[in-house]
C-alpha cells in the first residue's frame, strides 16, 4: 500500500477518542465527499474496516466513488453494522457480500468485498 494512496482514500485520519479508550483501532476519517470511522489492519495494511460512513451530499455517487477508490488500494474491505437499507442495497450492487465475524468477542454483521487478485 502506498501512503499517499491511503491518505487520498480516507482523507485525514485522526484518532477517535472512543476507539482509543476501547482499543479498537478505529479512527475518524474525512474527505470532501465522505466521512466516518475506519481502521486499516492485516499484513501490509491490506484490510480496511469501516464502522460508519456518511456522505456530504446524498445521491451524487460520492459513496460509490469512495468504495471504487478503496478497491484500488485494499485487498479486503469490510463495512460493519449497516443499518441503512439504501447503503446495504448499494453495497450489494458494488459487489459486496454479507458477512458475520466475531471481533473482540462480539458478533459483527455487515458486508465484505475481497479482491480476486492473488486469491486462491
CA dist 16 → 24, 25, 80, 91, 104 (Å): 9, 8, 17, 25, 18
Question: pTM, whole model, 2 decimals?
Answer: 0.85
Class in CATH terms, 3-114: alpha beta
More confident residue, 60 or 64: 64
Burial class (CB in 10 A: 0-12, 13-18, 19+), 18: exposed
CA distance 37 to 16: 8
pLDDT band at 32; cut points 50, 70, 90 = confident
CA distance 111 to 96: 6
The average confidence (pLDDT) of the chain is 87
Task: Please give the pLDDT value at position 120.
Answer: 43
Q: Are 106 and 74 in contact (CB under 8 A)?
A: no
CA distance 27 to 118: 28
CA distance 22 to 86: 29
Amino acid at each position: 500500500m502506498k501512503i499517499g494512496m491511503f491518505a487520498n482514500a480516507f482523507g485525514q485520519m485522526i484518532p477517535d477518542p472512543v476507539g482509543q479508550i476501547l482499543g479498537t483501532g478505529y479512527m475518524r476519517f474525512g474527505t470532501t465527499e465522505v466521512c466516518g470511522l475506519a481502521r486499516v489492519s492485516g499484513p501490509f495494511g491490506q484490510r480496511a474496516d469501516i464502522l460508519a460512513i456518511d456522505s456530504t451530499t446524498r445521491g451524487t455517487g460520492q459513496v460509490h466513488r469512495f468504495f471504487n477508490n478503496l478497491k484500488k488500494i485494499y485487498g479486503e474491505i469490510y463495512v460493519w453494522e449497516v443499518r441503512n437499507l439504501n447503503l446495504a442495497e448499494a453495497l450489494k450492487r458494488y459487489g459486496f457480500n454479507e458477512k458475520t465475524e466475531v471481533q473482540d468477542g462480539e458478533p459483527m454483521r455487515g458486508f465484505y468485498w475481497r479482491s480476486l487478485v492473488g486469491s486462491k
